[in-house]
Every structure is written in structure tokens, then in C-alpha cells.
Structure 1
């Protein structure tokens, strides 16, 4: 008789060990969303670089002799690409670290355990629509905190990059005179 009770207790303990808590489900959703968050972090890291490239392109067209433009733009693009390669992991690491306290907190507050189980399954259901409607509320705080935290690491490097590009543009010489 004691063996039967012990077997039942072991089976119950095993079942409980396999049951997922709400925190486990939130963590699982965050893990499933990690590629999306990493892409978002990359986009945030690259956004100021695209603006810089556009500005540099305008200046190059206005001030740099035609024969120097292509080489200068390639040099600037290479420098921007290098910066993106170096800054993207910084943004990604900050984003991944901030996910539980921002996105995870919203998931925990807005979704029940049963809903999280359905969400993990990524089925077309009302819960999936609810999740989609909540994404802005979940990721906006992440973006805000990510930009605040990463700014400390990236701003000095971004300013140095800007100065380097400005120097290259200045060294390239004045724009050719236009003929009337």
C-alpha cells in the first residue's frame, strides 16, 4: 500500500515539475520574441546612421569634386557599416536585458497563464489578436529605456563618427564652381 501512495506522490511531483508557471510562459514568449527584439535593436542602432549618410550624401554632392565623390561616399559607408557592426551588439544586449522588465512585465500583467499557453502555440486565436494589439504598449517602454541606456555607451562614439565624417568632407575640398 505504501508503494502505491509513493508512486502516486512521485507521479504528482513529476506532473508538477513539468507544469509551466506563468513566469515560465512569459519567459518562453520573450524567448520566441527575441529575434524580433534583436531586429528592432538593430534598426534603432542603424537609424541615426541612415540620417548621417543622407546628410553626407547631400554635402558630398554640393561640395566635393565629381572625381572624388564615389570614393568618399564608399569610405563614409564603410565607416558607418563598421560603426553599425560594433553598435548593434551593444543595442541588442541592452534590449535583451531590458525585455523581462519591460515587455515581460506587460505580458505578465495583461495575459493569464492560459492565454500565455495559447500565445506560445502561435495559433490564430483571439489571444493572438490581443497580443498584436498590445505590442506597441509592450515594446515602447523597451525602446525608451533602450535608447536611454544605450545612449551612454553609443553617444560619444556616434559624435566621434560624425566628426570623422565631417573632417573627411572638409578635407575633400570645396564644391566645384558651377557654370552659369
Structure 2
């Protein structure tokens, strides 16, 4: 009987140690992924603000020219204030939520060996270098894609803009109508 209890205690201890090791690995992975988690939170905060800015930009065109700049600056300041207040709240909640969501999923879906391999990759110099150069590489790709796709998409974009303006009963501003869409797109980052 003592042997059976001792064996059961050892099995429970081994399972507990295994789970603890997996949890520790997941905690390290989440720590390594903190910048990505924070970027998700920032993106969530910025998304509605960007949509609001786009809608406001369209509405600003309806205002008298002498009021557009001041109104635009006020809206931009209000939106920036919202983002500045929302990002820290979302970032804090994201970091608190990550262990129970992302961490729980990793513990469930990955073996201990897979978690070790993932952590090794995340902490590797190659991954760190990739994370540093990825935005530059992706931006260069996006710029090239815009240039390459512009001849095919500009006529369609201009037709869509005309159709939307027509549907809304708005005539095209002279500056926008005379400027090609490719010029607008290539200046974007």
C-alpha cells in the first residue's frame, strides 16, 4: 500500500513538474512576444480612429474652405487624444489577457519540445535580426507592389471614385480630378 501511494505521489509530482515546465516555457514565449502583443493592442485602438479620420476627411470637403483647416486640426487633435488614451488601456489589458488566452492555447497545442524549439527561435539572433529588418523589407515590397499594380488599378479606382461621387451627388474637386491615382498611391507609406 505504501509503495502504491508513493508511486501515485511520484506520478502526480512528475505531471505537475511537466506542467510547470510547459507553463514556464509559455511565460517566456509570451515575454518574447510582448512587442507583437502590444502592436495588436495598438492596432485595435488605431483602427476606429483611422476610420473616423477618413470619414471626417470626406465630411470636411462639405465645409466652407475657410473652416476646413481649423476643423481638420481640431478633429485630428481629438482623435490623437483618443488614441493616446486608448493604447495604454488596450496594451495593459492585452498583456493581462495573453497568459489565459494565448498562453493557454500554446500549452494545449504544443508539446514541451515544440515550446522549447519555439522559444529558441524567438530568442535566436536570426529572428531578432529578421524582426528589425522586416518592416523595411515589407515597406519596399509594398511600394513596388503599388507601382506595379497602379496601371491596372488606377482606371478602376478613378471609375469607382466617379461613381461614388455621382451616387452622392458630389462633383469632383479640380485638384483631385486632375491628379492621377498612382501619384497618390506612390506617396503613401
Does residue 28 (structure 1) correspond to residue 28 (structure 2)? The answer is: yes
Shift in Å, 1:74: 1.2
Alignment RMSD (CA, Å):
2.1
Does residue 51 (structure 1) correspond to residue 51 (structure 2)? The answer is: yes
Match of 2:101 in 1: 102
Larger relative CO (CA 8 A, sep 6+): 1 or 2?
A: 1
Match of 2:78 in 1: 79
Does residue 38 (structure 1) correspond to residue 38 (structure 2)? The answer is: yes
Shift in Å, 1:44: 0.2
State the TM-score, normalized to the length of structure 2: 0.53
Task: Structure 1 unaligned segments of length 5 or more: list them.
Answer: 1-19, 129-180
Task: Structure 2 unaligned segments of length 5 or more: list them.
Answer: 1-19, 128-189
Q: Alpha-carbon deviations, 1:87-129, whole Å to 9, x = none?
A: 1011111111110111001100111111111111117xxxx9x
Higher helix proportion, which one?
2
SS at match of 2:121: coil
Figure out how many residues of one structure are paired with residues of the other and give that number: 106
Shift in Å, 1:75: 1.2
Runs of 4+ in 1 over 6 A off after TM superposition: none
Q: How does 1:18-167 map to 2 (within 5 A)?
A: 21-62=21-62, 64-122=63-121
Q: Alpha-carbon deviations, 1:131-150, whole Å to 9, x = none?
A: xxxxxxxxxxxxxxxxxxxx
Matches of 2:92 and 2:34, distance apart in 1: 11
